[in-house]
Chain A
Amino acid sequence: MSIHSDARTPRLYGLMAEFDSPDALVAAARRTQEGGYRKFDAYTPFPIEELHEAIDAHRTAVPLLVLIGGIVGGLSGYGLEYWVSIVAYPLNIGGRPFHSWPAFIPITFEMTVLFAALTAVFGMLALNRLPEPYHPVFNAPRFALATRDRFFLCIESADAKFDTAATRRFLESLGPREVTDVEP
């Protein structure tokens, strides 16, 4: 409720609607999606299976990153062993060839898993732009309830269709408990 905001030049982060039940939120998210909004997000105390589809959370790049991480890890593990055993410090072990690939596989496997797992964790954090010390949604007055028993839907002002007055009317038509401004 900033005194500086007006309908023509939105200086808000977005508009936040509060719902009482997961079903109401999922229905609202579906209608927001159908209403042509693309930059919006939902906040809930627990995961809701249908919500994923309702807000059309598209595929993320994490699986691809993990695949690349795994391949890089496997190649570097095998490459290190190859370099050590054949190039840098060849040792005759039990008369076996220097390039004894069966012995290299366990390390290659472990390095694949290690790199894939680390890429998954850090790739997810990077794609979510975490850690993020400040996020405007916490400016919504009752947003703390998103970790308890309320369900929130926020349409961001960065959306092409966003218009403070029209979007507020739209959100109010979804039957929320209340709609509030979110300061940037």
Chain B
Amino acid sequence: MNDAAIPELSGLRRAALVVGTLGVVASLAGAWLDPAQFFRSYLVAFLYCAGLSIGCLAVLMVSHLTGGGWGVAIRRPLEAGAGVLPLVALLFVPLLFGLPSLYTWTQAATMAADEVVRSKQAYLNVPFFLVRAVVYFAAWLVMAFFLARWSRAQDRTGDPRYADLMRKLSGGGLVLLGFTATFASFDWVMSLDPKWFSTIFGLLFLGGQGLGAMAFAIAVAYLLSSRAEYARALKPTILNDLGNLMLAFVMIWAYLAFSQLLIIWAGNLPDEIPWYLRRISGGWNVIAIGLAVFYFAVPFLVLLSRGNKRRHRRLAAIATGILIVRAFDLFFLVAPEFSPERITAHWLDVATLAGAGGLWLTMFVRQLGTLPPLAPNDPDLAGALARKH
């Protein structure tokens, strides 16, 4: 039922399957040749895929809470994206074998050498790290499971009770998601440098995930819009709303990223500042400037124009650009920790992203194929279709 349901996406699914398979084979070869590099590259690839699913879940819950035509238009891509969370949990497993090479706090020698790190031992230890990861995934999977279950029940029966249930779950769920995603970002990314800390980091990470999910949903909606029944919900005013939401996420990310920089720059403390010093020296500053230009300045300026937001083709092109730059954003968070002296990239960076991303996309298209194109009993559907333009 999957391939036949969405013929527009069968090309994407085939491409994802081929690229994913090649990426997995290359990644396995790389894992055998250079395990340490494999885990470094794979962490970025995992964060990219996990971020898409968590971001989709977050934006989906926001749309359940607020309602509105924009939510109707991208609800199915968001639901399918959150539906890939079981695969994301599976993709987390290989990282467990790389904990000693990724996180220096797992080694007794680092612990013994540094008093600051030693004082964090109650939090930074492998058993508690694993327990927390299980809690995060349990929270996300349970929320995604119930939202998917009620959404299908709503499609089948049209009972207004389900919209109410989804809204109630989303209210508390967003709070839970905020906490779990914050601590997940502390565990998986921030602890790469066990001495460094930034309280804004969790929200910054979540903002990036929201931006990625929004861009992804807009791009997928463009592929789906060749179908008449789907295009009905993608009127210029709704595209304008979607573009504005993406613009809001661009601005949130830039605001938080700059706030973090400003606070640490102004404090200029020896525990905090090295994280930035690594990222503005040895050629890494090229990526830093590239992110300021292509993750903030350019998307911000092009998304100001109504003409760019109201034409789906242009909006989807902007979204695709953001999705590409997002990989550099995550690479910039992880890679300088392992090569502070000078900028390096490895073919495994591409191979692992292709492998994990290909698998993620394959399962995404499968999920999307099992759902009718627009939620037929969404309380906001009638309002969205009644819009004149």
Contact = CB atoms under 8 A, between A and B. Distances in A.
Nearest to B264: A102
B266 A103 contact: yes
B388 A103 contact: no
B268 interface: yes
A102 B261 contact: yes
B265 interface: yes
Contact of A102 (B262, B304, B388): B262
A145 interface: no
Contacts of A50: 388
Contacts of A67: 304
Contact of B265 (A53, A102, A106): A102
A94 interface: yes
Nearest to B237: A49
A84 B354 CA distance: 51
Contacts of B268: 94
B275 to A, nearest CB: 15
A67 B268 CA distance: 35
Contacts of A53: 389
B258 interface: yes
Interface string B348-389: 000000000000000000000000000000000000000011
A27 B35 CA distance: 71
Nearest to A101: B265
A158 interface: no
A139 to B, nearest CB: 35
A51 B203 CA distance: 42
A63 to B, nearest CB: 8
Interface in A25-54: 49-50, 53
Contacts of A94: 268
Interface of B: 258, 261-262, 265-266, 268, 304, 388-389
7 contacts: A49-B388, A50-B388, A102-B258, A102-B265, A103-B262, A105-B262, A106-B262
Given A67-B304, A102-B262, A103-B262, 12 more contacts: A49-B388, A50-B388, A53-B389, A94-B268, A102-B258, A102-B261, A102-B265, A102-B266, A103-B266, A105-B258, A105-B262, A106-B262
